Structure 1
Amino acid sequence: MTTTRQPPKDLRDFYEDPAVPVASGTPRSRRQARMLAAALGPGTGTHTTRTVLDIGCGDGTAAATAAPLLTGHRVIGVDWSQDALRRARAHLTHPIRGELTGPGLPFATGCADAVLFSEVIEHLVDPDAALDEIRRVLRPGGHLMLSTPNLAAWYNRALLLAGVQPVFSEVSLRAIHGRPGKEVVGHLRLYTPRALREFVAAAGFEVVRLEGAPFHGVPRPLRPLDRLACARPSLASILLLHARKT
């Protein structure tokens, strides 16, 4: 067992804790932004500028990483955590508070050309409702760029064979038990590539592409192997999925 934290009253209390990480690795953000830039094309004028919602923007560093690759497009950060939004103001002009459940996002139906949904879905109690709301705000043919940890990552396969809890999985909001690592980040759900494809397709999206990305938390000596695993998404640490609203 690793270091414990004060028990949160609920999930909202957990994510308002400044000690909970709200940023992901730069390599993943850059790969995802390249995929989105290729899908949107250049934003060089009024009729080519697209609206991109970064839902679950955290501290805004992912949007800041993506911005140079999305020149000419409008990126709007959205998060439910007031603490994350305070930090996001250093990177985003107008971060907006919003939720995927309850009253839903504060945007009109069909207003967005693309949604960045980076390392959010694994934290959700109701991912079905979340994808329904994302589908609502996307225009027909709009793009969903979703990233999430891969339950079937190359090292997790070895850990399970050894009877060790997989990386990314958590059994408590207070401490890490039974697996490597120290940070509790609130993962509630994990996906294999096949499960992610099926889940997104069932929500009314057409899966266009699935790629792999490295995980910034892999020990330094193993990082070259982790980068090699990206060539096969089924083994990669992080899954990058591009889908379109049907």
Structure 2
Amino acid sequence: MTTTTPVKRSGLRDFYEDPAVPVASGTPRSLRQARMLAAALGPDTGTTRTILDIGCGDGSAAATAAPLLPGHRLVGVDWSLDALRRARTRVPYAVRGELADGALPFRSACADAVLFSEVIEHLVDPDAALDEIRRVLRPGGHLMLSTPNLAAWYNRALLLAGVQPVFSEVSLRAIHGRPGREVVGHLRLYTARALREFVAAAGFEVVRLEGAPFHGVPRPLRVLDRLACARPPLASILLLHARKT
């Protein structure tokens, strides 16, 4: 299947500034991640903690998480001006920042937790991104990362059939060789094992890995997709909780 898009883009920055490119990961996924973070932070002790939503997109994930994290300060961060314009309608604080070396506009060890939802698969240099996240986290601070699973149950079958896996993209202009129509700019994909090893190598202790369903799975297969969440290596989406060591 080949689908073309009418929008001409000269590079990644132009791609992500295009309002037509999706910048939200979905409410059910955001709720799962927020519940994991709320459990990690523990009972409310009256202390206000700082939570950075890095790559906040339109702010919908932070807005979904906010009711589960009462009394804490949620700050959205993105480098897309269009995304920030939308995020500021949903979250009290949204600032521009990049995940290059020292480029986040925060001092070292200032954050108690980082939400990193559906971002790492879009990055040219994910190593530098985790280094920068580690810099802004306090010792013992929490990283809540989510990303599509290259080895999702249906991708294993698609590869056996010689079909490009779902979530993978070979072009910023069109979808080639796999089901789907939407180009979202995925550059890197992880299996559960690769994600664990990658995050651990960046100086984090992996605490927990869960699975989440994908809203793009055809309706007749959604029951199977939910069942696959019980085994994260087969799930559509990987939700990882790690701590800064």
TM range (shorter): over 0.9
Which residue matches 1:81? Answer: 80
1:198 Cα shift? 0.4
CA distance in 2, matches of 1:69, 1:77: 16
Conservation of the 8 A alpha-carbon contact between 1:213 and 1:238: yes
SS for the counterpart of 1:188 is: coil
Conservation of the 8 A alpha-carbon contact between 2:101 and 2:132: no
Which residue matches 1:245? Answer: 244
Conservation of the 8 A alpha-carbon contact between 2:74 and 2:93: no
* Residue 154 (structure 2) pairs with residue 151 (structure 1): no
Alignment of 1:65-144 (within 5 A): 65-101=64-100, 103-144=102-143
Unmatched runs of 5 consecutive residues or more in structure 1: none
Alignment of 1:192-211 (within 5 A): 192-211=191-210
Which residue matches 2:3? Answer: 2
**Paired AA for residue 18 in structure 1:** P
CA distance in 1, matches of 2:125, 2:154: 28
1:43 Cα shift? 3.5
CA distance in 2, matches of 1:6, 1:171: 17
Residue-pair matches, total: 244
1:102 Cα shift? 5.2
Which residue matches 2:35? Answer: 34
Which residue matches 1:230? Answer: 229
Superposed CA offset, 1:12-69 (max 9, x none) = 1100000000001211111100000001123352xx2211000000001111111111
The range that moved more, 100-109 or 69-78, is 100-109
CA distance in 2, matches of 1:131, 1:116: 12
CA distance in 1, matches of 2:95, 2:118: 18
CA distance in 1, matches of 2:203, 2:160: 35
1:5 Cα shift? 3.3
User: What value does the CA root-mean-square deviation take over the aligned residues?
Assistant: 0.9
Q: What TM-score do you get using the length of structure 1 for normalisation?
A: 0.97
CA distance in 2, matches of 1:107, 1:70: 21
CA distance in 2, matches of 1:100, 1:42: 31
**Paired AA for residue 20 in structure 1:** V
Superposed CA offset, 1:165-185 (max 9, x none) = 000000000000000000000
Superposed CA offset, 1:95-117 (max 9, x none) = 10000015510000000000000
Conservation of the 8 A alpha-carbon contact between 1:42 and 1:72: no
Superposed CA offset, 1:182-226 (max 9, x none) = 000000000000000000000000000000001111111111111
Identity of aligned residues (%): 86
SS for the counterpart of 2:174 is: coil
